[in-house]
Every structure is written in C-alpha cells, then in structure tokens.
Structure 1
C-alpha cells in the first residue's frame, strides 16, 4: 500500500499507486491548487504531460507540500514533436526541470505516430536509455493500440510497464487490455469515469447512465465512484481529473466499498465500442506537432 491506495507493482519492483490525479486540460493557473488539494486529501500519484503545459505547476505543488519526494509518484509524457533519440532525451530534461526533480517515476510516449513509427521506436529506445541510466524508474506508452504494441514489443528490448488508454464503461478496449495482460503491461485508464462522453453532445453520458445510477444508489455512492471502483477491482490504474475540491475528494473516496462479481459484469455490459477521444491512427507529427517550451 502507498498511503491508503492499493499499489500496483510495475516492472523492476516499482510501486505505483493505482489511483492518481490527472491534470489534462487543467489550466496552469488552476493546477497548483488542484494538485495541492489532491495531495492533502491523500492522492500520492500525479499524472501530467509535456503537452499539457502545466508540469511546472505540478512540480510546485509537490515541492510546496510537506511530503517527501519518495512519497509522491510523478508520471509525465513525451509529446510527438520531441520524438527521436536525442530529442527524447532532451524532452526528459525539460520535463524534469519543470517538475523540479532529478528522477521521474514513470515516463510515457504520449502517442504512437503510425506514419513515422520508426521515429516512435527511436523515441522509445531513448526511454530505455533513461531507464538504464536510472533517470526514470519505469517507462511506458499511451494510446498504443494492438498493432502498435505488437511492433514495439518485437523491435525493442523493454516491455512497457504501462499503457495509458481511453477506458471507461462505454469504451473498454478489451483487445488492447488483453494483449497488455499477456505481456505484463498495466492498463491505465484516462477518462476513467467517461468524462470524454460529456463532450459528445449527441450521446449519453456515463454519469447519467441508468445502470450506473442504480449501482450507485445501491452502494450510497456516485456513478463516478462506482466506475473508479470498477477499474481498481479489475487491476487497472485510473487517473480521474478534477479541479474542484469536492470532486477531488469524492473521486478518492472509493477504497471502502466493493462491487460484487455480478455488479462488475453489469458495468462490463455497458460497452458501446464508441471512442470518445481521437483515433490514435490519426496522429501525425505534422498535424499534431507543437513546440514544447524549454521552460
């Protein structure tokens, strides 16, 4: 255990708190307060990314807390414009500097670039170098689909510790999860409570789904809490995002109840196969290239 949150053991014996705070689309001016509140509540895992533009604020909140560095698991990601061996090594330097640390707990490639996959592979080999040098404790990927993982596994030496993907009751990516399980890759859910569904105005939201509302009522919980519990009981990591103190606390209060096998199966049955976020195969270095600032 890390604090009160179950820990998932990654390759090399690295312990990662299964529940973390995500800061995707959190404005820099709101990030420090959100992370500080999360740490106060009990979170010990913060997920950010170079492309979010808020690594410095995440680092400030951690530094200003009373917690020792070893007590907080810091995860960030390299954006596609920084893929390449030397470029990715420098991307680590930029992120570590902004976060105010010398070592990262987990560093991911943010997206595969199918049209430039050789460059993706070279970037991953830079992560392997950082791992060997002890500058990161674990490495992984994000938004990698089955074909991406299969090629990565065939052409690199180190199995990713984590694959962070869109995963919620309406979109479960079972083939990606299954391949990960075969190779010991932990699935980490972004949009774990289906927040991405809210942006698809023509479709229903997980937060108002009748089956989830019924389960929530049965446990005197919220649908968000039920979904987070579903992830944890199935061995996944989940990184819900919020800037509101009440919601940050609510998302953390999922450790003192349990769903039955039948209830887990009822949530599994909500799969629609509809992705909320961008199709990973659509990501190109040209179309999604942004300059990650030095400071």
Structure 2
C-alpha cells in the first residue's frame, strides 16, 4: 500500500477536534485501533472535516479477542460503524496472539477484502516467521506491517523483510514516548538543522527505505511540526550516528 510518509497515530486522542485539525493541516493517513477505544472519536473528526473521504487512508486494528474466524467480520463491522465509514483502507491484526490462528483468521480477512469492506490487510507486531506464514496463507498481499521503530528500538530483520517483499513498515512511537526531546544525540543534530529533536527522530525513521511513520500529536503546532519533518534531510553520517545510539528501549513489549 502506498502510504503518506507521515500519518497520525491516535492512541490516547479523545477529542475529535484534534483529528479534524490534523486532516485540515494535511494529514492523509489516520491510524486507530479497537483497543484504543477512540474509533468513534476518529470517525467524528473525519466527518467534521471538509476533506473527501476518498483522500484519506483510514486504518484500524482488530484486537486479540476478535481474531477468531467467526469474530473477524462482526468485529470489523463494529469498527466500521464506530468510524462512520463503509470501508477501511487498512485493517490490521493488532498482535498475533489471543484468538489468532493464521489458517482461520487470515482467510476471514481475505473475505472482507473480497467483499469491499477492507482495501488492504495489515499485520502488526509480527515476527519474521509469522510474516512468512501470513504471506503463505493470505490471498491478498500484506499491505503494511506496523511495528515499534524509533532511535532506541528497531528490529532490522523486520525492516529487511519489508524491503525484500515490497510492503511498507509503519513505524509507531517514533518519538520514543517523548524521550526524543531529551536525547543528546538527537538534540545536537536538531540544533545543527535549527529544528526539534522530534523532527530529527521522524526524519531518521523516514531515512530508512520502506518506512513511514505515525507520530501522535494533539496541538496544532505539534501536528504541523511533525508533518513538516517530511522535508528534513539528514546526512548519511547523521543517520548512522542515530543508528549507533547504544540503547534498547522497547516501549510496548509483547
């Protein structure tokens, strides 16, 4: 799936006005999930904007208790209802656990694609062997793989799989849960470019082939700044320096 470089991660957003502002500022990829409890908020924000629905990529995720073959369709339909849309562009398996069974869950998702309720099937937080099995079972190609990917944590095997098989990695938590603002390497590079450490963290993610990202922001100022980070170009040496930060900080372990 061809995704914009910077989208909006909505975990924790409870005001439709934030989503409306994001769309009006130019965001075209909106990411939510059943477990966030805010699909209605995202849908209301979309409805309040004048931007045509067809210009937006709307993504949500099935939680682990909705992955049984008999649960996929009604659970997805409930998400569509909360979002106020006839179809979503991207429907993820949020995590491959709980009721997840590739031989039963994935064909149920293929049926949603066949019926026009979903454009693309996404996977999230999968390991390489799980990705391989999903490719073997799915009729539809893997549209995207959403993973935690930021300067303190990034699974290069998963990135390599995406590059080899031609689908995007959607990097969540690119700002390291706010820790990007205090990192000395990001701060030094930001000062050199007269920008913020957050912009550097986003630009670093985008410097990797096949990676797009979905930072969360609530204020109009931060929404604009995150979107503007698309145009920040880091030198190969700067990217390598961030790559070499000696720290591993996974925010959302299994």
Q: Would the TM-score normalized by the shorter structure come out above 0.5?
A: yes
d(CA) in 1 for partners of 2:193, 2:103: 45
The corresponding residue for 1:6 is none
The corresponding residue for 1:150 is 132
The corresponding residue for 2:96 is 112
What is the deviation of 1:116? Answer: 5.3
What is the deviation of 1:117? Answer: 4.6
What is the deviation of 1:236? Answer: 0.9
The corresponding residue for 2:10 is 23
Contact 1:171 1:271 in 2 (8 A): no
Residues 1:86 and 2:70 aligned together: yes
Structure 2, gaps ≥5 residues long: none
Residues 1:270 and 2:254 aligned together: no
Residues 1:222 and 2:196 aligned together: yes
d(CA) in 1 for partners of 2:105, 2:93: 8
d(CA) in 2 for partners of 1:212, 1:71: 33
- Normalising by structure 1, report the TM-score: 0.81
d(CA) in 2 for partners of 1:271, 1:64: 44
Q: How many residues are aligned here?
A: 253
The corresponding residue for 1:291 is none
d(CA) in 1 for partners of 2:7, 2:37: 19
Residues 1:211 and 2:198 aligned together: no
The corresponding residue for 1:76 is 60
d(CA) in 1 for partners of 2:73, 2:234: 43
Q: Matched residue of 2:190: which SS?
A: helix
- Please give the root-mean-square deviation of Cα atoms over the aligned residues, in Å: 1.7
The corresponding residue for 1:261 is 236
Segment drifting more, 135-144 vs 254-263: 254-263
d(CA) in 1 for partners of 2:103, 2:183: 40
The corresponding residue for 1:282 is none
The corresponding residue for 1:174 is 156
Q: Matched residue of 1:102: which SS?
A: coil
d(CA) in 1 for partners of 2:103, 2:227: 36
The corresponding residue for 2:222 is 247
Residues 1:232 and 2:196 aligned together: no
Q: Deviations over 1:38-71 (max 9, x none)?
A: 1121111110011111111111111111111111
d(CA) in 1 for partners of 2:246, 2:144: 22
- Normalising by structure 2, report the TM-score: 0.93
What is the deviation of 1:194? Answer: 0.9
Structure 1, gaps ≥5 residues long: 1-9, 199-204, 280-295
**Cα–Cα, structure 1 residues 133 and 141, in superposed 2: closer, same or farther, change >3 Å?**
same
Q: Deviations over 1:222-261 (max 9, x none)?
A: 0110111122232311000122222222111113331111
d(CA) in 2 for partners of 1:256, 1:141: 28
The corresponding residue for 2:142 is 160
The corresponding residue for 2:22 is 38
- Deviation >4 Å, runs of 4+: none
Contact 1:75 1:106 in 2 (8 A): yes
The corresponding residue for 1:202 is none
Contact 1:172 1:271 in 2 (8 A): no
